[in-house]
Structure 1
Amino acid sequence: MWGKEKINPEKALYQHANMVYRLALLQMKNKSDAEDVFQEVFLRLVQHQDKISDEEHLKAWLIRVTLNCCKKQFDSAWRRKTVSMEEQKEAGYEEEYEENVIYKEVQNLPEKYRTVIHLFYFEEYSVKEIGEITGQKESAVKTQLSRARGILKEKLKGEFGYEPGI
């Protein structure tokens, strides 16, 4: 196709590795599963690189594929039969966040809230862009962000020296 710049998977790996891994770790809640998802995402990128039109499309594509791979991993029979994260805690990347109360509470949010919070605050996507990536209406994304913030506000009440009514 004329004028279409081909995506370089190696360059994409260097540019977007941290984003994909953080999102996978947030969704999967453990290092091993996040690494599996990470590998699957970049393998798919190599297989489908000719379908990606530009850098902006690439980032959105990587996020969508990461979320889909996480869902696929959760639905697998193998995962249903393995030991949970609480029963077998792994050391490593997630230790950085273990003591972070906000990170813990974000991880405890339902998946749909975790996803929009991550995309909005960590990846700095707009509500419109999150809607396009997740296939939802902007109003649904706004509602999920609002509800997630409300849950976090309630759970974190008093954690940072703020006590309502004082």
Structure 2
Amino acid sequence: MQQTTSQPSDEVTNIYDTYADTLFRIAMVHLGRREDAEEATQDTFIKWMEKAPAFNDAEHQKAWMIRVITNHCKSLLRKGWRKREVKLEAVEPITLDNSEDRALIELVLSLPVKYRSVVHLYYYEDYGIRDISKILEISESAVKMRLQRGRQLLKLELEGEEQP
């Protein structure tokens, strides 16, 4: 079946190209597995196409997409099958040129989800505290506290690695 106009397809392609990498990275931070992150990203775009919400601007659209994928990841993590699943030892490694960057990202990924998501949005996606608060639907003070605790955990881990 052919479409009579190419505009909807072009819009979907443009939105996908704009947000897919960001959404995938957020899902990886939450879920930790490529397959789950890909599925969550796909589900987010499906929800966007089904709901077809009206946005004030590009930032509003990006915040909506991030909120949807964050909530979807939280929902997946609450499901019982995730708790019973056995992780494979041969997980695809993070490919970075700099071993220090790789080690830091692995440390961030080892944080508990509530700290990991805030640290990721703040440092890797360049969101401010107010924006993170809106995206995750938590108070600004909660964002600040999670950032502080996440930094403390990272500092403890980094200091532990330096000592022989």
Q: Normalising TM by the smaller chain, what interval?
A: 0.7 to 0.9
CA distance in 1, matches of 2:117, 2:30: 8
Shift of 1:88: 4.1
Q: TM-score scaled to structure 1, two decimals? A: 0.81
Q: Which residue is 1:147 aligned to? A: 149
Match among 71, 74, 77 for residue 74 of structure 2: 71
Q: Which residue is 2:95 aligned to? A: 96
| Structure 1 unaligned blocks of 5 or more | 1-5
Does the CA-based 8 Å contact 1:24-1:38 persist in structure 2? Answer: yes
Bigger mean CA deviation after superposition, 8-17 or 30-39: 8-17
Does the CA-based 8 Å contact 1:31-1:90 persist in structure 2? Answer: no
Q: Which residue is 1:130 aligned to? A: 132
SS at match of 2:120: helix
Residue identity matched to 1:19? T
The size of the alignment, in residue pairs, is 150
CA distance in 2, matches of 1:109, 1:103: 10
After superposition, the C-alpha distances for 1:19-72 in whole angstroms (9 at most, x for unaligned) are 001111111111111111111011111112234332111111111111111112
Percent identity over the alignment is 33
CA distance in 2, matches of 1:53, 1:45: 15
SS at match of 2:86: coil
Instruction: List, as ranges, runs of 4+ consecutive aligned residues in structure 1 with deviation greater than 3 Å.
Output: none
Does the CA-based 8 Å contact 1:9-1:49 persist in structure 2? Answer: no
Residue identity matched to 1:21? F
Q: Is 1:45 equivalent to 2:48 in the alignment?
A: yes
Does the CA-based 8 Å contact 1:28-1:34 persist in structure 2? Answer: yes
| Structure 2 unaligned blocks of 5 or more | 1-7
Q: TM-score scaled to structure 2, two decimals? A: 0.82
Shift of 1:158: 6.1
Residue identity matched to 2:91? E
Shift of 1:117: 0.4
The RMSD of aligned alpha carbons is 2.1
CA distance in 1, matches of 2:159, 2:23: 31
Q: Which residue is 1:113 aligned to? A: 115
CA distance in 1, matches of 2:28, 2:144: 24
Bigger mean CA deviation after superposition, 47-56 or 60-69: 47-56
After superposition, the C-alpha distances for 1:97-155 in whole angstroms (9 at most, x for unaligned) are 6x511111111111110011011011101001111111111111111111111110110
CA distance in 2, matches of 1:137, 1:59: 20
Q: Which residue is 1:9 aligned to? A: 12
